[in-house]
Structure 1
Amino acid sequence: MVVFKRFAVLLACAFWGVAASAQSTGAAFDVGTIQSPILVIESDRAFAQSAFGKRASLEIERAGSEIASENRQIETELKNEELALTAQRESLEPEVFRKLADAFDEKVQNLRREQDTKARALVERQETARRQFLVAVKPVLNEIMLDFGASLILEKRNVFVSVAAIDITDQVVLGINSLLGENSDVVPEPVDQNPDP
C-alpha cells in the first residue's frame, strides 16, 4: 500500500512538473485547458455518446429486433409444420413420410443458415460503424492534441492511473457531433498523423 501511494505521488509530481516546466518556458495555455504531452480517451463511451454512435446503435438495435421477431415467427411456423407432419405419420407410407421429413429438415437448415447470415451481417454492420467513427474522429483528435500540446493519446482502460484533466472523451464527443452529427454517409478522409517535414 505504501509503495502504491509513493508511485501515485511520483506520477502526480511528474505530471505537474511537466505542466510547470511548460509554464516556466512561456508555453501558451488556453483558459481552462492544461498542457499535457499525454491524453486519454474512452473510445467506447465517445462512440456511444456521440450523435453518430447513437444513430448507428439505434439502427442496429432495430435491425436486431427485426431479426429476433423473424426468428420467433419462423420458430412458430416450423413448430406448427412439424406437428402437422407428425400427425400425418400414421396415415402415410414410410417412404412418403421420410421424403416429407427430409424436405422439412432441409427447410429448417436453410432457414437457419439465412438467419445466421443476417445476424453475421448485423455484426459486420456494427463493426463498420465503429471503423467509420474511428476514421471520422481523427481530425477532432488532431485538433484536441494541438490544444493540449499533446503528442500521444492512450485508451483510458489501458492506463493504470491518470488525472481527470487529461481525459478528452467529452471534448471528442462535442467535436465529432459538430463535424458529423448523425451522418455516417460522409466520413472525412483520414488525416496524416506524420506529415513530411
Structure 2
Amino acid sequence: MKRGRSMSRSPRSSRRAVLGGLVGAAFWAASPVQAQDAAGIAVVDQERLFRNSRFGQELLSEIDQRGTALAAENRRIEEELTEEERALTDARATLDVQDFRARAEEFDQKVRQIRAEQDAKSAAVTRMQDQARQEFVRRITPILADLLAETGAAVLLDRRVVLATAPDADITDRAIARIDAEIEAQD
C-alpha cells in the first residue's frame, strides 16, 4: 500500500502561518493610517513662537521693561517704608502712647494704600502680557493657516499637548521664519 502525503500542516506551523498573516495584516492596515496621521497633523511650540520670533520678542521686551521698572519702583518704596518704619520705632520712646498709636495707624494705612496701588500696577502688567499674547495669536493665525495649507496638514497642535511626534511634524522653526518675514512686511 502506498502511503500518501498528508496535506495538513503541523499545529505549530499552522499557528506560525496564522500569526504571520495577522502581523502582516496589522502592518498593512496600520501603515496608511500612520502615514495619513503624520501628514495630516503639524505641531508647533507656541512658547518658542512667542519667545523666538521678532514680533514676540518686541512684545516681550515692552512687557519686560514695564515689569523691571515696577520691580525697581517696588524696591525703592520698600526701602523708603523700611526707613520710615525704623524712624517711627525709634521715635516710640519719645512719644506718648496715643500719639504713637496714631502715627503707627497712619503708617499702616499708608502701607495698605501703597500695596493696593502697586498690586494694581502689577495686575496691569499681567493684563498687558495677556493682551500681548492675544495680539500675537491674532496676528500669526493667518500666517500659520497658510503654512498649514502648504504642508498639507489639516490640524495644527501645540507641542505641549502632544506626547510624541515625528521630527518633521514639528514646523516651529518654519513658522518662526515665516512670522518674522510676514510681520516685518506688514509693518
TM-score range, shorter chain: 0.7 to 0.9
1:70 equivalenced with 2:101 (yes/no) = no
Secondary structure of residue in 2 paired with 1:180:
helix
Aligned to 1:178: 181
Aligned to 2:124: 121
Identity %: 34
Structure having the higher Rg:
2
Q: Is the 8 Å Cα contact of residues 53 and 182 (structure 1) preserved in structure 2?
A: no
How far did residue 107 of structure 1 move? 0.4
Residues 13-68 of structure 1 show CA distances to partners (whole Å, capped at 9, x for unaligned) of 4466439xxxxxxxxxxxxxxx9221111111111101111111122112111111
Structure 2 CA distance for partners of 1:182 and 1:143, relative to 1, 3 Å: closer
How far did residue 181 of structure 1 move? 3.4
Q: Report the structure, 1 or 2, having the larger helix content.
A: 2
* Correspondence 1:19-30 to 2 at 5 A: none
Aligned to 1:83: 86
1:51 equivalenced with 2:54 (yes/no) = yes
| Structure 1 length-normalised TM | 0.73
Separation in 1, partners of 2:179, 2:142: 9
| Runs (5+) with no aligned partner, structure 2 | 1-22
1:149 equivalenced with 2:152 (yes/no) = yes
| Runs (5+) with no aligned partner, structure 1 | 1-5, 20-34, 187-197
1:131 equivalenced with 2:134 (yes/no) = yes
Structure 2 CA distance for partners of 1:15 and 1:137, relative to 1, 3 Å: farther
Number of aligned positions between the proteins: 161
Residues 122-149 of structure 1 show CA distances to partners (whole Å, capped at 9, x for unaligned) of 1111111111111111111111121112
Separation in 2, partners of 1:76, 1:121: 23
| Structure 2 length-normalised TM | 0.77
Aligned to 2:101: 98
Secondary structure of residue in 2 paired with 1:160:
coil
